[in-house]
Chain A
Amino acid sequence: MALLAAIALSTFVFTADPKGDLAIASVKVYPAKARRYPNKQQEFAFVNFNVSADLTPLFNWNTKQLFLYLEAEYTNAKGVKNDVVVWDRIVRRKEDAVLNVVGKNKYMFRELSSTFKQVPPAHYSLKYNVMPYVGVLTYGEAARTLEPVAFPLAQESVS
């Protein structure tokens, strides 16, 4: 028990804060049917991104895994603050912690008002959650877009 407590406390010594790069290659918006309500039209955003980051410093002897996630942050015209995770990845080994990902969103990205019209540009950020073998869960941010990325108008069909 004392050993477990010592291990848990020792992780407070490791305060790595690695930074990486995040670029949004493209954002596209398409109308589609909502998943739960087949008669409702809803717009979905599709994000392509490039991420490169070296997160190996986050691995210490009490790191079980990293949970990485890419989220979009924006406040819409009504003043509703939105954080939406569009992509995530679990990293379980130190060797896999060097990221070089060219990817697209894994989860549906939709707006509460069902349209991205007049939604201000969104910031995107790569965040991580360090999950220990025993002890406290910690969170951090590894990368962020410098400029907010605007949502384009909805395209009629997939081109």
Chain B
Amino acid sequence: MFSDEIKTLRRLGFRHLLLQVLNFASVIASGLMIWKGLGLITNTESPIVVVLSGSMEPAFYRGDLLFLTNPPTERYHTGDITVYKVPGGDIPIVHRVLETHDVIAKKSKSSSNGDIELAPVQNQLLLTKGDNNAVDDIELYQGLDWLERRHIVGKVRGFLPYIGYVTIAMNDFPQLKYALLGGLGLLALIQRE
């Protein structure tokens, strides 16, 4: 049943095959570039996030796509929806900020030629809660009392429903992922312009 395809491959030759592989690689590379570029602009490690749980229902459902920014100079406000990742937790969590406390942590560092007083560091202690949860997130913080600024991946700015469900489906049914990848790869190799 693949004899036709194999015949065309023979006819096109090895050079053509290489060219298609290169094409495929460039598509993947540009995708990665866009992702990383977006990450640079928005200052987050992942500018687009898929909602994995129902803890923010009815605002966000599983599979919704969120766009994040994380401006380094801006403080977080109550009511902002943040994505955070605490050390020890494996997946990022999307929850709303319930409390903010802007503490001023004075850090002094001693060196060989005396004490160097660093400028007071602004830090924010945050407490979050999922809209659909009854209580706040302290239990999720892996022993921390407050969420700190460095745990936060970003603030939700934009929203696109359901589009991300593809990735959830691929995680739930790995066969689908391989079928899709294989199909795409085969198409890229065989098609000729």
Contacts and interface: CB of A to CB of B under 8 A. Distances in A.
A78 B78 CA distance: 21
Interface string B153-191: 000111111000000000000000000000000000000
Contacts of B100: 81-83
Interface residues on B, range: 20 to 34
Nearest to A81: B102
Contact of B59 (A64, A69, A80): A64
Contacts of B80: 139
12 contacts: A36-B138, A64-B58, A65-B58, A80-B104, A81-B100, A83-B78, A83-B99, A85-B79, A112-B125, A134-B160, A135-B159, A136-B159
Interface string A119-135: 00000000101011111
B79 A80 contact: no
Given A82-B100, A112-B125, A134-B160, 11 more contacts: A4-B160, A67-B96, A69-B79, A83-B77, A83-B101, A84-B99, A85-B97, A92-B58, A134-B161, A137-B157, A139-B80
Contacts of B96: 67
Contacts of B29: none
A65 B138 CA distance: 26
Nearest to B126: A83
A107 B98 contact: yes
Nearest to B97: A85
Nearest to B135: A107
A71 interface: yes
B148 interface: no
Interface of B: 58-59, 77-81, 96-104, 125, 129, 131, 136, 138, 145, 156-161
Interface residues on A, range: 20 to 34
B59 A107 contact: no
Contacts of A137: 81, 156-159
A52 B125 CA distance: 31
A79 interface: yes
Contacts of B161: 133-134
Interface string A68-96: 01010000001111111100001010000
A67 B131 contact: yes
A32 B22 CA distance: 67
A136 B69 CA distance: 12
Q: Which of A64, A80, A137 is packed against the most chain B CB atoms within 10 Å?
A: A137
Given A92-B58, A137-B81, A80 B159 contact: no
Contact of B157 (A35, A82, A136): A136
Interface string A127-153: 101011111110100000000000000
